[in-house]
Amino acid sequence: MRIVYIHQYYCNPGMAGGIRSYEQARRLVARGHTVDVITTDITPTGRCWSTPGRWAW
C-alpha cells in the first residue's frame, strides 16, 4: 500500500523533538508499505530528512 503521511513538524532521531511519527512510518515501511512524508522544515539550516540515511536540500 502507498501511504502519504502529512505531519506539521516531523522529526527523525537525529533531531530535537518527538519521533513517534518517524517510528510509525518506519514500522509501516518494515511491513512492506511505501510511505511518503509531507512536512514543514523546522531546522535552522534548511535541511530536511528525505529518506533514511540521506539528506535532501
pLDDT, tens only, 28-40: 999 999 999 888 8
Amino acid 8 reads Q
Do residues 48 and 56 make contact, with C-beta atoms less than 8 angstroms apart? yes
Residue 28 corresponds to which cell in the numbers above?
509501516
Residue 43 corresponds to which cell in the numbers above?
531546522
Give the pLDDT confidence of 1-11 residue by residue, as tens digits.
999 988 887 77
State the residue range of the domain holding 19.
2-56
Region class of 6: left (phi > 0), else alpha (psi between -120 and 50), else beta: beta
pLDDT category of residue 50 using cuts at 50, 70 and 90: low
Do residues 11 and 36 make contact, with C-beta atoms less than 8 angstroms apart? no
Number of domains observed in the structure of the chain: 1
